[in-house]
Amino acid sequence: MQEISEIQKSDEAEGFAVLGVAAAAQAIRKGEISSEKYASALLQRAQDHSDLQSFITIDKEAVLESARAADKERARGTSAPLLGVPIAIKDSYLTQGLRTTLGVSTLEKFVPEQDADIVKTMKDAGGIVFGKNNLVEMSFGLTGNNGPYGQVKNPHSKTHVSGGSSSGAGASVSARLVPAAFGGDTIGSIRVPASLCGVVGFKPTTGRWPRDGVAPISHTLDTTGVFARNVEDCILIDEVIVKNEAPSNFDQTNLVGARFAYAPRQYFELIAPDVEAQFKETVRRLRDAGAEVVEVDLGNDFSSLALTATWNIFFRETQEAVTGFLRQNNIPATFEEIYSGLKPGLKEVWGQLVLKNGPGFLPAETYDAALVERLEIKRRFDQAFLSSGAEGLIFPTTPCTAPLIEHQEQFFISGQEVSYLVLANHTIPASAAGIPGISLPIGVSKDGLPIGLEIDGPYGRDRSLLHVARRVEAAVGVLTSPI
């Protein structure tokens, strides 16, 4: 954890920016910094880097008012775990009194009367809503390209994509505009931007974190989660969100005795050379640090099974999920109005695959088969963990680094032209199985673009996954801010 002396070594605003969630909360509790000064510094930094287009809405006065209130609470002796710490929120989360667009122009003036459950829990823990992050319309996309609110840019290179759909969340944490941001992950929408932007992205076991008040895609696959600078901050936030578990008590910091599995036949079918090289170097470092890394095989049909089943579920459940969300939360728009306002490419996809009368809408029997195939994917993960004795399955989070914005629809990996959909090829299986996954930065390519390592854990073993990820992080290090 950073000490306050680090802040004093540099310009105040830059010094505040280096603080993660746990460090900032501790400094505020100790009275070493005020929440108001901290929030002011981050607001200035967000303004200075507004060209990233990582936010749709920031209410500066509301942020400062909340920060001043937190300082008064601290003076009265309050010691809430997130007291006075500003955290960004993906704009698919309802936020009371603060505009929530879901990334679409149809809702550009919508202000909810209530908070999503996670937002309320964060506020109850003393946290401050810093602003609403940009996202792909209705969370449908992997590159960060939003028609009404702009393309989110990668802080490591503004000519490259940020990843998506939680695009602004990943970019804002990477650029140190905020210490953490809440996002959503259905097929990789936290882990993909975490990998491409060089930050930590945690997807809990599906259903472990609340998702009421968050715009859905698929009730089977949707998961709320978080971006942060380091794993320690993810652990703190997980303890805040999941109150019914005993506090974490994992003391080991090195990797002696740790065991990981990797599945080269499933996760290296198509991969960029620099990503593969960095992964192999990371495996070497893990072994040097005392970990055992063993090979497993998830089956010849594993990748195709996971991709087909997951995409089928993804598209089949969207219309029903969105329609129900709009109605239940008194949102002043219909599904049809949102569909009519989508950008052309996305509207075409919805017309084909999401609308119940679309030519590609999945028949009930095929959907039921996909749900059964999902259980088979989970069974194979369970068997792999059981047979190998591994605490985590490791692989490159994305098969390549961030593509150029101008070539985001189609680009090349190892000489093969691919669609942007391949960015989620490695993250999809964990989504299908509902198991927890976390992406950590492990280095950069020759072009200076981040490379991520994903660690997936056994179903429901989130705390164990987080703590072994912290041990991995200690062995491989963290990336510095690019700006």
* Angle between helical axes of 21-29 and 35-48 (0-180°, round to 10): 140
Query: What is the pLDDT, as a whole number, of residue 10?
Result: 44
Query: What is the pLDDT, as a whole number, of residue 56?
Result: 98
Q: Compute the distance between CA of residue 22 and CA of residue 43 in angstroms, rounded to an integer.
A: 19
Residue 1 pLDDT > 60, yes or no? Answer: no
pLDDT confidence bin for 249, thresholds 50/70/90:
low
Q: Residue 163 falls within a domain, yes or no? A: yes
pLDDT confidence bin for 446, thresholds 50/70/90:
very high
Per-residue burial over 209-244, b = 16 or more CB atoms within 10 Å of its CB, e = otherwise: bebebbbbbbebbbbbbbbbbbbbbbbbbbbbbeee
Q: 189: closest CA among 159, 236, 152, 158? A: 152
**165 is a catalytic site residue:** yes
- Residues above pLDDT 90, as percent of the chain: 93
Q: Residue 223 falls within a domain, yes or no? A: yes
Average pLDDT value for residue range 167-193: 98
**5 is a catalytic site residue:** no
pLDDT confidence bin for 248, thresholds 50/70/90:
low
Q: How far is CA 234 from CA 99, 140, 433, 438, in A?
A: 26, 25, 21, 10
3-state secondary structure of 113: coil
**Do 167 and 446 meet the contact criterion of CB atoms below 8 Å apart?**
no
Q: Compute the distance between CA of residue 293 and CA of residue 392 in angstroms, rounded to an integer.
A: 10
pLDDT tens, residue by residue, 211-225? 999 999 999 999 999
Q: Which of 40, 189, 195, 439 is catalytic?
A: 189
Number of neighbouring beta carbons within 10 Å of residue 295: 10
pLDDT tens, residue by residue, 19-52? 999 999 999 999 999 999 999 999 999 999 999 9
**30 is a catalytic site residue:** no
Q: Residue 172 falls within a domain, yes or no? A: yes
Query: What is the pLDDT, as a whole number, of residue 14?
Result: 72
**Do 408 and 145 meet the contact criterion of CB atoms below 8 Å apart?**
yes
Quick one: tokens of 425?
A: 């090829």
Residue 4 pLDDT > 60, yes or no? Answer: no
**Helices and strands: H and E segment counts in the chain:** 17, 17
Q: Residue 482 falls within a domain, yes or no? A: no
Q: Residue 94 falls within a domain, yes or no? A: yes
Q: Residue 177 falls within a domain, yes or no? A: yes
Average pLDDT value for residue range 423-450: 98
Average pLDDT value for residue range 377-398: 98
Average of per-residue pLDDT values in the chain: 95
pLDDT confidence bin for 244, thresholds 50/70/90:
confident
Number of domains in the chain: 1
Query: What is the pLDDT, as a whole number, of residue 15?
Result: 80
CA atoms within 13 A on the CB side of 250: 17
Q: Residue 481 falls within a domain, yes or no? A: no
Q: Which of 165, 172, 218, 303 is catalytic?
A: 165
Which are the contacts of 292, defined by CB distance < 8 A and separation ≥ 6? Answer: 258, 259, 260
Q: Which of 34, 54, 66, 90 is catalytic?
A: 90
Give strand pairing partners of 453: 396, 440
Q: Residue 483 falls within a domain, yes or no? A: no
The CATH code of the domain that includes 260 is 3.90.1300.10
Query: What is the pLDDT, as a whole number, of residue 13?
Result: 65
- The parent domain of residue 331 ranges over 4-476
Query: What is the pLDDT, as a whole number, of residue 246?
Result: 66
Q: How many residues does the chain have?
A: 483
CA atoms within 13 A on the CB side of 400: 25
Cα radius of gyration rounded to whole Å, the chain:
21
3-state secondary structure of 267: helix
pLDDT confidence bin for 251, thresholds 50/70/90:
confident
Which 3-state string (H, E, C) describes 349-376? Answer: HHHHHHCCCCCCCCCHHHHHHHHHHHHH
pLDDT tens, residue by residue, 319-368? 999 999 999 999 999 999 999 999 999 999 999 999 999 999 999 999 99
pLDDT confidence bin for 426, thresholds 50/70/90:
very high
